[in-house]
Chain A
Amino acid sequence: MKKVLIVDDAQFMRLAIRNILEKNQFEVAGEAANGIEAIQKYKELKPDIVTMDLTMPEMTGIEALKAIMEYDRGAKVVVVSALGQEVQIKEAVINGARSFIVKPIKEEHLVNTLNKILDINKSI
């Protein structure tokens, strides 16, 4: 089972994502409520993939993404964000986010995106 780290400041959203993932044979390795925690947890848990919220207190998702990418160039981070945040998503993509999912999250969107990214053979 692939290990996922869920990063979101809203407990509700973390629960929602966790429910979807656990239903679809992912292992939720951990949760983080802000960027700082996300970096710590990434180093500690070494997840296969991260779902990253952008708007968070303490440290935003973008900052955390940058730090994670610096720590692990092969990190697989998927941004979970809302409509209207195009600018931030773009910045996330520039900084190495593999893809993004738009809130409100649809189950199949989340699952397909994660599966596809995990499948991708980075050789090209």
Chain B
Amino acid sequence: MSEEYINEPMLEMFLFESTQLIEQLEQSILDSDKEKCYTKTAINEIFRIMHTIKGSSAMMMFSEISGLAHSIEDLFYYIREENPQNIDCSALSDLILEGIDFIKIELEKIKNKDSADGKATTLIGTIKEFLYGLQQANNYKNIDKTKQKVEESKKQYYISQDKVITTVYKNAFKATIYFEDGCEMENIRAYTIIHNLNDITKEIYHIPEDIIEDEESVDIIKRDGFIVYLKSDLSYEKMFEFFKQTIFLKELELTQLENEDEFKQFLSEEPSEIQKKDYQIPKEQGKIKTNVTQSISQQSIISVNVSKLDKLMDLVGEMVIAEAMVIQNPDLRGLELDNFQKAAVQLSKITSEIQDMVMSVRMVPLSATFHKMNRIVRDMCKKLGKEVELKIIGEETEVDKNIIEHISDPLMHLVRNAIDHGFESVKNRELKGKSKSGTLTLEAKNSGSDVLIIVKDDGKGLNKEQILKKARENDLLYKNAEDMSDREIYNLILLPGFSTKEKVSEFSGRGVGMDVVSKNIETIGGTLSIESALDKGTMITLKIPLTLAIIDGMNIKVGNSTYTIPTISIRESFRPKEKDIIIDPDNNEMIMVRGQCYPILRIHEIYKVDTKVTNFTEGIIIMVEQDDKLLCIFADELIGQQQVVVKALPEYIRNFKKIKGIAGCTLLGDGRISLILDIGGLIDKR
């Protein structure tokens, strides 16, 4: 980067914008590929995107990207202008997708501060060949055109239509102009001069004569300068001033001619050929009248660095804690403070509004993540000879930016798995009487404070026998196969060291199994469930929390400790009566509520907390629910509801002590720590 004005924000902007454009481009190509034809709009869009990337990457001195973008731009320019017939759409898509992949990899390298050292030479060659092939196939038309052009432009002077030769100008001049080195497009710079001169005089001749069509004119102007003969009423000084204003002017020689001898060389031509040069300018395509409001609304969007949003989220978290520290300050205990209470309520209201706002700012629709799968489906189907259609539902569903990053890979893995293992070959599908092409559905929807992401295929379904056999071989069976529910059998595939496919295939068998997928989902507090029916298909549901950072919690007291239960899991709380308590033969305590029996979990027992409240009638029961399973938690008392900021458990507790049933911890208003109960974990524990 030799230019001084190129700085870090520019690099960031370059990466940001190019990545976006490339994604948009990929989508456009996949859509066109599906339709088996490239529409005018698509061609225009691809051309424009490549044009932009070419420009930006050239400025950032990424010459390989720029070169590649240039070659694709040329190709699409040809397609746009010449509208050639018989384009091999599939081959074209493959070629451009290859280009996209190259640029993606290079951008990734740049992002990671590696040098973008990929070479695009071969690919550029292939693209040029493709273009050449197209030109060959549509040859006749083209040659005609060029010929026509040559004839048209043989001998023409830039003389205005209404020019009447009889106009007599007083003075004759000869100007020789040299442009600055490296100013580019000297011929058009020369054209600009002629165009401006046209306001002053109508009698102009110049060498080289053809500055528009003839590409050599650039070299001639560079070498010999641009020579203009003209007649005008203006004085030498005025003319000199005019030429002096030429932009990128390096050298100017202006002489006033005494006689008109030098004009004769131009006038020897037949007058009939003197005509206004009618430059053919291809009409810009498409009528340009789109709604204005849209462009205005676009402008009201700004892009913000994610790290700033993370910081903002952290700060809001701190603010929530600080708010609790003020409002629940121990110094206030027992005081009657009406005005303070009012102010406190106002503060809480605003804090929670800010929090909602910050949260919503961080929300990103899943569409980009979902649409990425199009490419995977296309590539894999091509390689494996399968036919699968991807159906996307609810792509507008939004989740936290951080969560999107965590589910992108697992989702990709699930899609790969489905296509590789889930769908049968076209032949097998026909044998089974199914439609030739399979359908893979990606669906997202909101459900309470969670988002459900469903990956559903209509393939062969999971084979229970095979799963059990495999599990037995790998020593993964933890109980009798006969006692296992379908769900438990399916869940076997989530265990580390399980893989149903014998051979490792290019796509799904990269040593990453379903266990990694489920691990990834668990790290963001999500769950994964599998449903399947033989020959009907498999459905994998990911349940993902909307956001990680702040939850509504109910604080409860056990002895001197405080615990927090996510409010969303709480069904009800009540003071139990002695007569409702049941003890089963294994000495497990149960409680009867409205004719139903629920297990009881004493927090003070499992976490070995000293408390005076051990008698059910003195404490309180909180009924919680997770995944349709219910549990009653016994605690000393409820303290109150509060928004809490979820902080990760220290490594020591999480990995070394391996304490179950705790999702994280949080800071309370008085500075003490409260442990957040993991309801799912507690239910399993029971």
Chain A binding surface, main DSSP class: helix
Complex interface: chain B residues within 8 A of A106 (CB): 3, 182
**CA separation between A9 and B295, bound complex, in Å?**
11
Tell me whether A90 and B284 are in contact (CB under 8 A).
no
Tell me whether A11 and B247 are in contact (CB under 8 A).
no
On chain A, the number of residues with a Cβ less than 8 Å from chain B's Cβ atoms is: 51
**CA separation between A82 and B6, bound complex, in Å?**
19
Given A12-B10, A15-B10, A60-B288, also A90-B281 (CB < 8 A) = yes
Tell me whether B191 and A16 are in contact (CB under 8 A).
no
Apart from A100-B192, A104-B58, what 11 extra A-B contacts exist at CB < 8 Å? Answer: A10-B17, A10-B52, A12-B10, A59-B290, A82-B55, A86-B187, A88-B284, A89-B185, A93-B191, A124-B200, A124-B242
**CA separation between A56 and B192, bound complex, in Å?**
23
26 sampled A-B residue pairs with Cβ under 8 A: A9-B52, A11-B17, A12-B14, A16-B6, A16-B10, A19-B10, A33-B298, A34-B295, A37-B295, A59-B288, A60-B284, A62-B284, A82-B55, A83-B185, A84-B77, A86-B185, A86-B188, A88-B284, A89-B185, A93-B191, A94-B279, A99-B189, A100-B188, A104-B55, A120-B245, A124-B238
A87 and chain B: residue at smallest CB distance = B281
**CA separation between A19 and B18, bound complex, in Å?**
19
Complex interface: chain B residues within 8 A of A89 (CB): 185, 188
Given A36-B290, A58-B290, A60-B284, also A90-B247 (CB < 8 A) = no
Tell me whether A90 and B18 are in contact (CB under 8 A).
no
Is the C-beta of A105 less than 8 angstroms from some C-beta in chain B? yes
Complex interface: chain B residues within 8 A of A82 (CB): 51, 54-55
CB distance from B259 to the nearest CB of A (A): 26
Is the C-beta of A29 less than 8 angstroms from some C-beta in chain B? no
Complex interface: chain A residues within 8 A of B241 (CB): 124
The contact string, 1 if C-beta is below 8 Å from chain B, for chain A 50-84, is 00000111111011000000000000000000111
**CA separation between A56 and B13, bound complex, in Å?**
18
CB distance from A75 to the nearest CB of B (A): 15
On chain B, the number of residues with a Cβ less than 8 Å from chain A's Cβ atoms is: 55
The contact string, 1 if C-beta is below 8 Å from chain B, for chain A 77-121, is 000001110111111011000111011111101001100110010
User: Which among B5, B242, B279, B288 is the interface contact of A107 at CB below 8 angstroms?
Assistant: B5
Tell me whether B13 and A15 are in contact (CB under 8 A).
yes
Is the C-beta of A43 less than 8 angstroms from some C-beta in chain B? no
Complex interface: chain A residues within 8 A of B13 (CB): 11-12, 15
Give the number of residue pairs across the A-B interface with Cβ within 8 Å: 132
B contact set with A: CB distance below 8 Å? 3-7, 9-10, 13-14, 16-18, 45, 47-48, 51-52, 54-56, 58-59, 73-74, 77, 182-185, 187-189, 191-192, 195, 200, 212, 234, 238, 241-242, 245, 247-248, 279, 281-282, 284, 288, 290, 292, 295-296, 298-299
Complex interface: chain A residues within 8 A of B247 (CB): 98-99, 112-113, 116-117
User: Which among A55, A94, A104, A124 is the interface contact of B51 at CB below 8 angstroms?
Assistant: A55
Tell me whether B288 and A12 are in contact (CB under 8 A).
no
Tell me whether B288 and A109 are in contact (CB under 8 A).
no
Complex interface: chain B residues within 8 A of A116 (CB): 245, 247
A105 and chain B: residue at smallest CB distance = B59
Tell me whether A87 and B48 are in contact (CB under 8 A).
no
**CA separation between A72 and B258, bound complex, in Å?**
40
A82 and chain B: residue at smallest CB distance = B55
Complex interface: chain A residues within 8 A of B51 (CB): 55, 82
CB distance from B456 to the nearest CB of A (A): 36
Within 8 A of B (CB), among A13-57: 13, 15-16, 19-20, 23, 33-37, 40, 55-57
Complex interface: chain A residues within 8 A of B281 (CB): 87-88, 90-91
